Amino acid sequence: MLTALRIGNFKAFAEAQRIPIRPLTLIYGTNSSGKSSVLHSLVLARHAQETGDLDVHRTNVGGESVDLGGFRQYVHRREANRRVEWAMDLDTSSFKDRLAELFAPVKRVTMLLNLGIGLDDQDRPLPEATPEIHTYELLADGPSL
């Protein structure tokens, strides 16, 4: 079961923010505080998982009502040389079958992704670059696997 998200350099979020997820999670706050950014990060993750596309404009989930504008729009402050951080914490007690066996001694698994576009030697985005996963890390109760 998903227990937390961590989002950084995505839309309203500069520094990575950890967002606990409970069976009932309310997202509220003032205008421009990041409520939509949380939801859009989930839409991006779902779309990327289904299609492999990280330069997302319209999504299967949001249809015409959600336009992320592509990487250069959803990266924080539209600074394309930044890396978007997206992570999720999973409670392993909900794992089934072989996955439950593999993670039997582990209580929490964290999957962390950093994505961005290619940069030149002066850290400027390459004009034709498309976003890709730069790092992928899987953590089990803290230490990296």
Q: What is the pLDDT of residues 63-94, one digit of tens each?
A: 788 899 999 999 999 999 999 999 999 999 99
Radius of gyration of the CA atoms of the chain, in A: 16
The pLDDT of residue 63? 79
Which pair of tokens denotes residue 70? 């592509």
The pLDDT of residue 144? 80
Terminal C-alpha separation, the chain: 20
29-42 pLDDT, tens digit each:
999 999 999 999 99
**CATH number of the domain located at residue range(s) 2-140 in this protein:** 3.40.50
User: What are the residues whose beta carbons fall under 8 Å from the beta carbon of 89, sequence distance 6 or more?
Assistant: 2, 3, 4, 5, 6, 108, 109, 110
- Please count the other Cβ atoms lying within 10 Å of the Cβ belonging to residue 40: 23
